[in-house]
Structure 1
């Protein structure tokens, strides 16, 4: 059995940084992810006047419940969607003028539903270029709160940003959601908010789903970051590809917050042997990979992982309800389809689906990554059985896993860079 230590979750680290910054007291985050995205988030907090002290294995954040510690700041969000969407909401709770910008890639990604919602709450927010996109400026004077309606069908991060803002408002917040994608990420948000002292309830009725957040503020604590389930998917897929492979990821078990761990259920349906315990998840190859049809709306970040594994199944793999993957770091649905076709694999696509038929990928082929870390890491799985695969931008993995190529490279011998108990 090969044991792989996966870096901390990007999603959990970003939320924890927001909550720590908003809390009364000093929070210690244990085993946070150290990557371009999370370092960008921490630097954004520092620019806003929050004290963040980083040391190996632990980050310490001095909370400021009243908001940023400076009256004016310029924040560069890099490529980070969580940074670009969460920090403007955090800044809105304070007082001052805060300007946000991001990379060209992040400028292309939509922000409109969130900024519209903040304006409905009375926030003076202005876009500096294309409406609904970065750059933007927030002229903050606190947020009273109230009720609003939100379409979170493109990204659950819009809802997460508003929910985390809720306890910092004067009167609390009620958000009615008309559409929601990647719901498990919202469950992460709710669980983490509660662990920092927030009070959140959910009501479902004929109008939709309404989240009610009380104006409680947050309390500092020590918080351990669990391993990243999306990153673990590449190692689980490699194990399922076999033959005779087995991988265990400690720290991801039955109590894990992240919905993307459900990717192992997809592998189980395809024929892999999957064991989930309290403290770890193990995937073993059985020598069989069956085709299937699967709805991945709630775990869409793992869609490219399955697409890259799909050619080795014994029947077609059809992935449905993943329209939101078209507005990620790139159009992931088309990126996967185009790269698979270049490898000689039969693929068809629609607005929100992709179907991959069995095939034998053939190199040499340079994968067009579009600067997207998940395209690189997914097609590293394909490369296990396809000599000659290279990447036009292998370094973009720094976004979430800077050491990915060294660690995953061990799968050539399946274990050269892993640890064996």
Structure 2
């Protein structure tokens, strides 16, 4: 039975690094993801004066509840959205002047709802070029807290950043949320805050975060569910079987819900206490599915959709247009390159079976998820190549080796 060795979750590793830096004491993170994004986050913490010690399978972080250890810093966030959104928020709780910049790709991604909320809380935050985008400077003098309104309809990361900030404020926070996407990611944040000693309460559309700070702990990072989706999809598509250990009933990540989509399409799925197995049955049915809450796995489904027995329609995924690239359009364009009939709307994509896909070069837009998704298509379509195969280093530097090994076993 092929077992896929999936690296740690990117979202959990980023949150854990923030929590560890903010906590009182030394935190050990077990099996964190080591990729371009998370290395960038750890490097950003080091620039802010936090001590991050690394061994091959764990990281130790010396927490500083009072904020960064330096009065001035220049932080480069690379391509990482969590880094670019969480670190300025963490720095705001300290005292000093901190400048943040990011890659061209990350500079294009929106930030405004978060920076508006931080300004509403009295943070002196200035965008240097375009409002709502990197680069930006935070002149930090601590955050008093209080009430704030937030629109998290573009990204749940805005809400996560404020939730994580709450315990570092003097009075705590009451966050009124007007719109919210990717709800399962908020559940991850709340569960992890609980592990570091903070209980958030929900009152309707309000999240109430108490002051008082975090406690250091030892925290194990579960395998990345979004990354697992490519291996599960490979099993469903090839009629083989794949097990991912460490990801089971208690998993924090909502993206494990992708296996329910595969089940609806005809695959056999078994979710155990600490592992998940997907078995292909030789059948892939078409379906209409709302993926608002698991939108990072939209490209995975799009990549296997041409092999379904009927049309596959994915709805309510407008937020995929403001990820590393416009993923909805990128999927449509690449499927058309393979000869597949595709229709799109503002927040949906419909993929039609019929034509046998033919090999082509996939245009990746430097987006790791486009490469990993169409690698799955490549199990059935010879001659697929990528204009930038190396961009997988963002979340899974060893992806091509691990997927190649799985392909040989399937």
TM-score, normalised to structure 1, is: 0.97
Give 1:76-155 correspondences, 5 Å limit: 76-155=76-155
- Partner SS, residue 34 of structure 2: coil
Correspondent of 1:337 among 327, 332, 335: 332
Q: What is the DSSP-based 3-state SS (H/G/I as helix, E as strand, rest coil) of the residue aligned with 2:202?
A: strand
Give the drift of 1:361: 4.6
Q: Does the 8 A contact of 1:312 with 1:360 survive in 2?
A: no
Indicate yes or no: 2:285 matched with 1:295. Answer: no
Q: For the residues of structure 1 that align with 2:368 and 2:174, how far apart are their CA atoms?
A: 35
Task: After superposition, give the CA deviation of every residue in 1:96-125 in whole Å (9 maximum; x if it has no partner).
Answer: 000000000000000000000000000000
Equivalence for 2:261? 266
Work out whether 1:317 is the aligned partner of 2:312: yes
Consecutive unaligned residues in structure 1, runs of 5 or more: 416-421
Q: State the 1:378 CA deviation.
A: 0.2
Q: Which of 200, 203, 224 is residue 228 of structure 1 equivalent to?
A: 224
The separation in 1 between residues aligned to 2:219 and 2:283, in whole angstroms, is: 40
d(CA) in 1 for partners of 2:2, 2:215: 39
- In the other structure, the counterpart of 2:378 is 383
Q: Note closer, same or farther for the CA distance 1:157–1:361 as it changes in structure 2 (3 Å cut).
A: farther
> Do structure 1's residue 70 and structure 2's residue 65 form an aligned pair?
no
User: Which residue number corresponds to residue 26 of structure 1?
Assistant: 26
Tell me the secondary structure at the aligned position of residue 3 of structure 1: coil
1:52-67 equivalence runs, <5 A: 52-67=52-67
Partner Cα separation in structure 2 for residue 372 and residue 285 of structure 1: 27
Whole-angstrom CA distance in 2 between matches of 1:412 and 1:67: 47
Aligned to 1:419: none
Displacement over 4 Å in runs of 4+: none
CA distance in 1, matches of 2:354, 2:85: 40
Match of 2:341 in 1: 346
**In 2, Cα distance between equivalents of 1:10 and 1:159:** 17
Secondary structure of the corresponding residue to residue 256 of structure 1 = coil
Query: For this pair of structures, how many residues does the alignment match?
Result: 410
SS of 2:42 mapped into structure 1: helix
TM-score, structure 2 normalization: 0.99
Equivalent position of 2:402 in the other structure: 407
Please give the alpha-carbon distance, in whole angstroms, between the structure 2 residues aligned to 1:383 and 1:129: 41
Please report the RMSD computed on the Cα atoms of aligned residues, expressed in angstroms: 0.7
Q: Distance in 2 between matches of 1:81 and 1:361?
A: 37
Q: Is the 8 A contact 1:344 1:359 kept in 2?
A: no
Deviation at 1:363, TM superposition (A): 3.2
